[in-house]
Amino acid sequence: MSSNADLAIIGGGPGGYVAALRGAQLGAKVILIEREQLGGVCLNWGCIPTKALLWSAEVLALVKKASTFGVLTERTHLDWPAAQARKQEVVTRLVKGVEKLLSRAGVTVVRGTARLASHRTVEVTEVDRVVERITADSIIVATGSQAVDLPIQGLKEPCSLSSKSALSLEELPQSLLVVGGGAVGVEFATLFNLCGVQVTLVEMLPRLVPTLDHDIGKALAWALSEQGVAVHTSARVTRCAAGGHDCRVTIATADREHQIDVEKVLVAVGRRPNVEGIGLEDIGVNYDNKGIQVDETMSTSVAGVYAVGDVTGGIMLAHVASHQGIVAAESALGYPAEMRYDAVPKCIFSHPEVASVGLSEEEARRRGYDVRVGKFPLLNNGMALVRGETAGFVKIVAEAHLGRVLGLHIVAPHASDLILEGTMALTMEATLDEFIATIHPHPTLSEAIAEAALAAEKRALRILTRPDRQ
């Protein structure tokens, strides 16, 4: 079977399906090829199911401390199968929503495995048989990424978990060791700890979430430790030995080794682009193990072929993929569009949440900026006290001469929502004065952002506690 299109898209994740919707919106005939579930990893096995389970865990944690707020409860416990069922309901509803959006937009969805046959042709196979050949004016590659497999000596099933299998556990383990202290590892450590699992978190580098501002890593380690997670930084898992229902794990630091017994080990050390087996080398697209090389319009080295999302490497976030998808669709259809990365928000749904946008303090100094920093602890925020959640802070990094905001870093409840103020500020090149002049509602957590801006100007009004105390 042969088909023609203005735009053919390989992959139906956040980058691919958004590109398809934008292309259809611009009047193009669009064909989208997906071999598994629409929505990709994020919707089916990543962002959404993780957050659905995390919300169940957050509700449990809140109910457990209800008496603090004068609310008495009895026999509070987690029904894990019910939480899993609710997670799946949310995922199913959103997948069906994506299907309806594509259908209403007139996008043709083809099921199967795609391979580039030329810079204008995509072959779709099922069970090693070509079932469709699609000719298109432009092609967008959005094949996503997969979890990195860390070869730890002796680690094997049934002890071993992946981020995907961890979301499908039929019952909670008694204990869990998480390898990797990045965003994914921290979220899983938070989830299972709040659910009552004894959690150990091991990070090879000196601090958690090492790509974010150093104060965030310190605050997260403190918060997780306070909640009962055993946090080990500057440490490596060197080997495992399965025995009975447990796995004996050896953890090595600079000066010693020690062993602990856990029921499950979850490896969460990052992801790698899906660049193999899709025909990139056959048509001359430049790529390496870090991803497909693209420019600011999401164009590859081959005219008419674009790439978006995790397969391009770089910032592997769903909202980045979606924005890249829009840029690629517009570029492919002749509209001026470019991707910029100086205002990309990064969120971690830990407890408390973490969010960051722009430059960290150390990165700003490394780039040669004369830096002004303002930090405001949540312990001095009225709404944080009302909620009983005072662990955290807001930190603003600004250029000293004109006060232009370079970065905003938040550890707080709803940090993922609060960070939008910083994202808008960086997009619009705002200054500290503009943060200060903006009236923030009271009592809200957002007031901490204005106070951090005041602190950067050495004009803080509501700091009773030293900003370096969490």
Tens digits of residue pLDDT in 96-151: 999 999 999 999 999 999 999 999 999 999 877 888 999 999 999 999 999 998 88
**pLDDT per residue over 386-405, tens digit each?**
999 999 999 999 999 999 99
Written as six digits, the tokens of 397 are 């990094």
The 10s digit of each residue's pLDDT in 357-389 is: 999 999 999 999 999 999 999 999 999 999 999
d(CA 320, CA 1): 34
**Contact status, residue 362 vs residue 429, Cβ threshold 8 Å:** no
Which residues neighbour 191 within 8 Å (Cβ) at sequence distance 6 or greater? 50, 53, 54, 57
Picking from 85, 267, 236, 245, the residue whose alpha carbon sits closest to that of residue 166 is 267
As a CATH number, domain 352-456 is 3.30.390.30
Helix (H) or strand (E) holding 4: strand 2-10
Q: Identify the CA nearest to 169 among candidates 158, 179, 180, 153.
A: 158
Amino acid at 355: A
Q: Which CATH superfamily is domain 2-145+272-332 in?
A: FAD/NAD(P)-binding domain (3.50.50.60)
The CATH classification number of 160-269 equals 3.50.50.60
DSSP state of 442: S
Spatial contact of 266 and 177, defined as CB atoms under 8 Å apart = yes
Q: Which of 214, 245, 351, 442 is catalytic?
A: 442
Q: How confident is the model at residue 466 (pLDDT cuts 50, 70, 90)?
A: low
Domain extents in the chain: 2-145+272-332, 160-269, 352-456
- Residue pLDDT, tens place only, 243-258: 767 899 999 998 899 9
Q: Would you say the CATH fold of 352-456 matches that of 160-269?
A: no
First to last CA, the chain: 63
- How many other C-beta atoms are found inside a 10 Å radius of the C-beta of residue 321? 28
DSSP string, 223-290: HHHHTT-EEE-S-EEEEEEEETTEEEEEEE-SS-EEEEEESEEEE---EEE--TTSSHHHHT--EETT
* 335/331 Cα distance (integer angstroms): 5
Active site residue 442: yes
> Whole-structure pTM over 0.85, yes or no?
yes
- 30 by Cβ neighbours in 10 Å (0-12 / 13-18 / 19+) ranks as buried
Tokens of 413: 């409840």
More confident call, 312 vs 460: 312
